[in-house]
């Protein structure tokens, strides 16, 4: 995948932090996915287990029941990603049409190698049920970067060719950690591995742009903050953004593509800001 891309979030769960319960019905989920594609989604990320802070694990059979019918119905119409931590779910999802494993555990590269699909390694310091208790870092940017590079290199050694890294905004991080990672996103981009960023509707955005009384902005009132941080991530070199609201993110991606193309055309012949990066693979 070359260029800048938008991954649309499709949670077929009852308890996801933002849209839990909205897309549990497979027909509704498929219709929503098709709407996201019409609005500009390049990838639809289907998840059957919430990984919000404090979330409890879901039985594998239940997770499969939620995701497989949706994947099968959408297969062939858009590139599909499976958001899971379970090897069995990942394998079944690939059989149903997924071509990316979006892995918050960063442990499933052997499955990606085995099945020949893409893989996203995300940073999360502990299980979602307790991860916010582990939001302690000496240098969050360096620690997250080094962890992800290690995982990406392991995956490449195993034979995975389509590798992405994701700093895991909101996963075992405080608001300050999230902002530091966004501010220094160039350090992740500079590794040469394609970077995916997801800030969509997350809690820290509700604190950055609070209600007039100082309380957290509710999930539904975080669109502007999401668009701002999404645009920032793209401007810093992120190659994919994961969002609930596809249309504004797709517009930001178009602007980012145009800006990069114009910048690249002004560089000396044979050089590009993308030198050393293959959007679908790792550092070379």
Give me the numbers of helices (H) and strands (E) for the chain, helices first please.
Answer: 10, 8
- Supply the angle between the helices 175-183 and 140-158 in degrees, to the nearest 10: 70
How far are the Cα atoms of 48, 78, 146, 211, 216 from residue 71, in angstroms, in the given order?
11, 10, 33, 38, 35
242 is catalytic: yes
Tokens 């995948």, residue located: 1
79, 145, 201, 202: the catalytic one is 202
52, 85, 91, 242: the catalytic one is 242
Tokens of 21: 């319960």
Contacts for 157 with CB less than 8 Å, ≥ 6 apart: none
Sheet holding 5-11, edge to edge: 163-166, 118-122, 100-103, 79-83, 43-47, 5-11, 240-243, 196-197
Residue spans of alpha helices (H) in the chain? 26-39, 60-74, 87-96, 109-115, 140-158, 175-183, 185-189, 203-208, 223-235, 246-265
Catalytic residues: 202, 242
């Amino acid at each position: 995948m070359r260029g800048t891309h938008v991954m649309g979030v499709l949670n077929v769960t009852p308890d996801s932090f933002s849209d839990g319960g909205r897309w549990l019905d497979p027909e509704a989920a498929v219709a929503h996915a098709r709407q996201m594609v019409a609005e500009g989604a390049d990838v639809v990320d289907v998840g059957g287990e919430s990984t919000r802070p404090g979330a409890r694990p879901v039985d594998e059979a239940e997770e499969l029941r939620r995701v497989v019918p949706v994947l099968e119905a959408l297969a062939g119409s858009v590139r599909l990603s499976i958001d899971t931590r379970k090897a069995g779910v990942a394998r079944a999802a690939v059989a149903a049409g997924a071509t990316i494993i979006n892995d918050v555990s960063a442990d499933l590269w052997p499955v990606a190698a085995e099945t020949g699909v893409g893989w996203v390694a995300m940073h999360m310091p502990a299980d979602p049920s307790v991860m916010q208790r582990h939001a302690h870092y000496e240098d969050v940017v360096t620690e997250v970067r080094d962890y992800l590079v290690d995982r990406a290199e392991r995956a490449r050694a195993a034979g995975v060719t389509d590798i992405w890294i994701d700093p895991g905004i909101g996963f075992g991080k405080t608001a300050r950690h999230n902002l530091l990672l966004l501010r220094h996103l160039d350090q992740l981009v500079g590794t040469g591995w394609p970077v995916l960023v997801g800030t969509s509707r997350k809690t820290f955005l509700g604190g950055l742009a609070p209600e007039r009384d100082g309380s957290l902005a509710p999930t539904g009132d975080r669109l502007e903050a999401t668009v701002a941080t999404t645009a920032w991530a793209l401007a810093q070199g992120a190659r994919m953004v994961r969002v609930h609201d596809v249309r504004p993110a797709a517009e930001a991606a178009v602007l980012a593509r145009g800006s990069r193309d114009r910048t690249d055309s002004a560089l000396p012949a044979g050089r590009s800001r993308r030198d050393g990066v293959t959007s679908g693979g790792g550092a070379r």
